[in-house]
């Protein structure tokens, strides 16, 4: 019998007994990833830098890359990231170099970020 040696031990898949100590934001992220497959975090523009938004859970749930956007209104970026997340959930492959012309009035490009 085949046994997959990988067993996900992330806080989404496994309750380590400390969920009662998690704050409402952590619980919301976990719940959204379990319910919808991903969560979008929005960070508004301030005097330090531009606004940005990013996904949590696309890689975990759909094997797609996590996505981030910068410099637009956070609500618009939230909507665009959800549109791209829905595509990944439907089986679309999101990869570097792609341009998506129908998620905003300007083409949204996907590029690999070197960390």
pTM for this predicted structure: 0.84
Domain locations in the chain as residue ranges: 37-109
CA angle 53, 103, 63 (to 5 degrees): 65
Give tens-digit pLDDT for 28-57. Answer: 999 999 999 999 999 999 999 999 999 999
CA atoms within 13 A on the CB side of 9: 3
Q: Is the pLDDT of residue 2 over 50?
A: no
């Amino acid at each position: 019998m085949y046994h997959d040696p990988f067993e996900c031990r992330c806080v989404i898949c496994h309750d380590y007994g400390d969920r009662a100590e998690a704050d409402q934001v952590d619980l919301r992220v976990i719940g959204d990833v379990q319910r919808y497959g991903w969560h979008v975090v929005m960070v508004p523009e301030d005097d330090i830098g531009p606004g940005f938004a990013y996904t949590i859970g696309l890689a975990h749930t759909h094997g797609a890359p996590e996505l981030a956007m910068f410099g637009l209104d956070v609500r618009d970026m939230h909507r665009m990231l959800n549109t791209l997340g829905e595509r990944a959930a439907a089986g679309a492959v999101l990869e570097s170099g792609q341009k998506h012309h129908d998620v905003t009035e300007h083409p949204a490009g996907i590029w690999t970020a070197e960390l």
